[in-house]
Amino acid sequence: MINALIFDVDETLVYYEGYDAKEWFSRYLEPAFKQHDISVDFETYRKMVKGILPRSYVERFGIDHVEFWKLVDNVNLRYRKLSAKEGKIKIFPDVSQTLSELRTMGLKLAAVSNASQDCTEFVLELFDLKKYFEVVFGKDYSYLNGVKPNPYLIQKTLKALNVSPNEVLVVGDSDLDVKAAHKAGTKAVQVLRFNNFVDDADYHIKDLNELVNLAKKLRLTSI
């Protein structure tokens, strides 16, 4: 039976209206790179974000990778604060009620994101969601290559919640979430937010309303 759920945050609980990765890079991140004499192109950056290249890849350019990602995260936090003021960060309509129902069921809940701790907590607090989670983890600067699809953040959460992998569902929208879940030994639930179907997910749901029924069913059976 399941006793805990670990949620991805961006594109699972909240989304950013009008967000385009390449536009964000050129408008917000590239100017910050130029101020710090950093030359990293969009494709290299995206490959690091997607886990195709390690986050430490920039070391080969003589760039301290911890300082590099702290710079990225500071830019991202400024972007999120600006987007919030403009009303461009949105919460999916099924989120609050679902989290409340899951907590009422006695399930432990956690939120895990590849974004920084500050960025993650900012959006959760923006919509009063942090109260539902016993654990919230953003990327760990002591192990930056531990972001999803690496299972490190999931494993860190399992330890913090004091649960075993077979008691847990990881809920997310992307293949990064599914891969991280499986590497950590947990089952993965994909929310089909943007029709990006991931074949390897153990369960597919069209929205979080379906998650409550799935959780009730799996609480009574072995997964």
Beta strands in 70-126 (DSSP E): 89-91, 108-112
110-142 pLDDT, tens per residue?
999 999 999 999 999 999 999 999 999 999 999
Contacts by 41-48 with C-beta closer than 8 Å and gap 24+?
Answer: 46/21
Does 182 share its domain with 110? yes
pLDDT over 70 at 220, yes or no: no
The overall average pLDDT reported for the chain is 95
For residue 72, what are the domain limits? 21-85
Give the model's pLDDT for residue 127. Answer: 98
- Which residue matches tokens 């847990």? 168
The number of folded domains in the chain is: 2
Domain end (from 85, 109, 129): 85
Phi, then psi, of 165 in degrees rounded to 5: -55, -35
Task: Write out the H or E segment, with its range, that includes residue 43.
Answer: helix 42-49
Does 188 share its domain with 120? yes
CATH of the domain at 133: 3.40.50.1000
For residues 217 and 223, give the distance between their C-alpha atoms in angstroms, rounded to a whole number: 10
∠ CA(6), CA(7), CA(12), 5° rounding? 165
pTM to 2 decimal places: 0.95
Q: Is 18 exposed, middle or buried (0-12, 13-18, 19+ CB in 10 A)?
A: exposed
Does 71 share its domain with 113? no
Does 28 share its domain with 63? yes
For residues 216 and 196, give the distance between their C-alpha atoms in angstroms, rounded to a whole number: 25
Does 142 share its domain with 181? yes
30-45 pLDDT, tens per residue?
999 999 999 999 999 9
